[in-house]
């Protein structure tokens, strides 16, 4: 083989190896899981029965959500406002988008935080009152006294049916990823508009694990407590750019008031 060709080939091999290895290296996680660019793995709806997704009138999944009562779900305000309430569907108990298990219910009432303007200014939270009761275990909503759950370094789990890489295809079934909560200082360094009262960040300094487009509105859990709602971020899983979540404990009262309506 001519030296030039051989050099070109081994350079290509290095590039390929890099492409395959880098996401795994940037995505520290339990062994036996499949590293993706967002560093997630397939998750079971039985383990996360509160995880739901939102569909438009054509049945397309466009956001996530989380059950907090038998007939109420939380999502991001930017998700709730994306389609008219009459055209909004909530799919519960379904792991695969193509599946027929679980139920799809309509929404009889939508509350969005009156302070919401756009995700980067905070208050990205909505309550969806459902048309029907659904038989799936809801998540516990973080309360103001649950401050310890928000300590930097706390391992949290984000769930969703969104993209598995920045600009890539959406997942066909539920995925989960483990990300540490960051300190307010770290997040303020990453984003000028970070507001520690209404937001919380999660992600590794080196990136590699994150929520992505289509995951918005979905849950960030610490154990069985909902601490965050997927809201925004610059790209997905980029180094130094953690995911930004609505700080649920700041809205406990609003949520309980609007869940019972
Ligand atoms: N805004 C996105 C959505 O509508 C979610 C973005 C989350 N991004 C991130 N890097 N964590 O689905």
- The pLDDT tens digits of the residues spanning 16-69 come to 333 332 333 333 333 323 333 378 999 999 999 999 999 999 999 999 999 999
pLDDT of residue 26: 34
Residue 28 located in a structural domain: no
Q: How far is the CA of 76 from the centre of ligand 1 (A)?
A: 10
Residue 116 located in a structural domain: yes
Q: Give the count of domains, the chain.
A: 1
- Give the closest residue (by CA) to ligand 1 atom 6: 232
Residue 16 located in a structural domain: no
Residue 8 located in a structural domain: no
pLDDT of residue 2: 44
Distance CA 174, CA 91 (A): 12
Residue 63 is part of a domain; what is its CATH number? 2.40.10.10
Distance CA 51, CA 90 (A): 10
CB of 214 within 6 A of ligand 1: the answer is yes
Q: Which of 239, 182, 243 is nearest to 207 (CA)?
A: 239
Residue 115 located in a structural domain: yes
Ligand 1 pocket: which of 78, 202, 212 to mutate (most atoms <8 Å of CB)?
212
pLDDT of residue 38: 78
Domain that holds residue 126: 42-258
Which pTM was predicted?
0.86
CB of 230 within 6 A of ligand 1: the answer is yes
């Amino acid at each position: 083989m001519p030296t030039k060709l051989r050099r070109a080939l081994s350079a290509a091999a290095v590039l390929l190896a890099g492409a395959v290895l880098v996401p795994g290296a940037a995505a520290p996680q339990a062994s036996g899981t499949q590293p993706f660019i967002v560093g997630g793995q397939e998750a079971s709806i039985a383990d996360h029965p509160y995880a739901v997704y939102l569909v438009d009138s054509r049945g397309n999944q466009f956001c996530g959500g989380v059950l907090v009562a038998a007939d109420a779900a939380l999502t991001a305000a930017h998700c709730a406002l994306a389609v008219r309430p009459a055209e909004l569907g909530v799919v519960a108990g379904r792991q695969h988008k193509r599946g027929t298990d679980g139920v799809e219910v309509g929404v009889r009432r939508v509350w969005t935080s009156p302070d919401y303007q756009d995700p980067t200014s905070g208050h990205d939270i909505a309550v969806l009152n459902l048309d029907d009761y659904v038989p799936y275990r809801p998540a516990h909503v973080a309360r103001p006294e649950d401050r310890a759950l928000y300590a930097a370094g706390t391992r949290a789990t984000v769930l969703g049916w969104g993209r598995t890489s920045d600009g890539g295809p959406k997942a066909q079934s539920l995925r989960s990823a483990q990300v540490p909560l960051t300190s307010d200082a770290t997040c303020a360094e990453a984003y000028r508009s970070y507001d520690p009262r209404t937001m919380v960040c999660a992600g590794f300094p080196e990136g590699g694990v994150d929520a992505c487009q289509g995951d918005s509105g979905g849950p960030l859990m610490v154990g069985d407590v909902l601490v965050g709602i997927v809201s925004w971020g610059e790209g997905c899983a980029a180094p130094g750019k953690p995911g930004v979540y609505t700080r649920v404990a700041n809205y406990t009262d609003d949520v309980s008031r609007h869940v019972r309506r």
